[in-house]
Amino acid sequence: MSRRKNGSSFLWIVILLAIAGAAAYVYTADMFERNAPEISVENSEYWNPKKPLIVKIKDQSGLLSYKVSLQSGSETFVLADEQFAVPQAEQVLELKAPRRAFALKSDSVIVTIEATDASKWNFLAGNRAFVQKKFVVDSKRPSVGIVSNSYKISKGGSAIAIFKAEDSNLDKLYIETSFGKRFKPIPFYKEGYYISLLAWPVQESSFRASIIATDLAGNRTKTNIPLYLKDRKYRISKIKLSDRFLNGKVSELAEEYGVEENADLITKFKFVNEELREKNEELIHKITSKVDDTQIDSFGISTFYPLRNGKKVASFGDHRIYFYNGAKVSESWHLGLDLANVKMGKIKVSNPGEIVFAEENGIYGNMPILAHGLGLYTLYGHCSSLNVKEGDHVSSGEHIANTGTSGYAMGDHLHFGVLVQGVEVRPEEWMDRQWIRLNVTDVIKDARKIIDRQ
């Protein structure tokens, strides 16, 4: 009797273990996975039906079927419907709405996506996913119209453009140039109007600028800014390097910034003139590329005269090519105007602004940078001493620093730079009262008159 009991108990244990094992297998086997297919739609909630609807569907055990339908008004259109004999790991669909859906002119549509996988879960029926998304229909491009702009732009110089941009779903707005730089416009005067300074880098042989406006549905408008291009020739200087020069300031700077003392002179020079210069200019460009989004109504800028009775000792745009023992070893561009008067001359601000940088910066030495608004910045290099710090707001006529020989300076002078959204431009333009009037202030005045009439 006890043997029969023991045998029966053992049989039940085996059955229970078998059931537990089967349950464990069902819960852990890939063919019984319990995750529903993953469905994602790349388009935003705004959709231009002329462009494809991008749908991605994937699943661990593989897809067996999917269906995508679009409801427009009272009608429903099937965009895709497919079943697979062999499960598919992933499907990427680019779907376009049928022409008939356009004719309904609905303000919005509803897209429904269904998918079933090859899992044996759910009593062999598999897992099912269901996604429904509403889209605002928008096939209209943004409207862009130029109000006023500078008549011309010179190589190495600046210009200004004022325009109107409208779209109920406006997304991005910028000015795109032929050399890859994007200028950021800011709100101007009244709602829907924008203003931006532009710059033609001295290193670029040509210039073209277009206003680009895109909306949330991906509609895009491109409008060219009509500027007369004036080429300008800049000096090319061929400079012979001497051992005396290389053993002086060049070696001091190279060793200060990490080059070994026993490195050869040309290695030190190339480091200072190329690597250190590039690093210093990257910082300058980063600081001066920022633009305040606050709406402006005007831009009353005066001529810049940072150094009283300052004499020009080096020009903007000078392309310097360096030779040593008859061989070319390096080159650079001088992207400011060098001015000198007396030793440790007073540097005074011509226009109010905010000090956005006031520290040492490699070859530029002690270097305050001022932001004047509308993406316009001024830079003061090689200073011996600074009277300001970052965050200070300074007024016209304020004494901010003194000239000196800090950084890569051979004699006491001021390196005066002007930048527009991170691009160095000719300081001489911003030191010319007539140029400012014709190319900036008059353009803004004309734009305000035109806007008031509209």
Are 423 and 336 within 8 A, CB to CB?
no
Please give the average per-residue pLDDT across 306-329, as a whole number.
94
Q: What is the spatial distance between Cα 274 and Cα 279, in angstroms, rounded to a whole number?
A: 9
The residue with tokens 């069902």 is: 26
Dihedral, 240, 245, 249, 255 alpha carbons, nearest 10: 90
Domains in the chain with CATH codes? 30-137 (2.60.40.1930), 143-231 (2.60.40.10), 237-421 (2.70.70.10)
Model pTM? 0.86
Please give the average per-residue pLDDT across 411-416, as a whole number.
96
Give the pLDDT confidence score for residue 107 in this predicted structure: 85
Please give the average per-residue pLDDT across 405-434, as a whole number.
96
Q: With 60 as the cut, is the pLDDT of residue 276 above it? A: yes
The 10s digit of each residue's pLDDT in 336-378 is 999 999 999 999 999 999 999 999 999 999 999 999 999 999 9
Q: How confident is the model at residue 116 (pLDDT cuts 50, 70, 90)?
A: very high
| Residues linked to residue 39 through DSSP beta bridges, in sequence order | 57
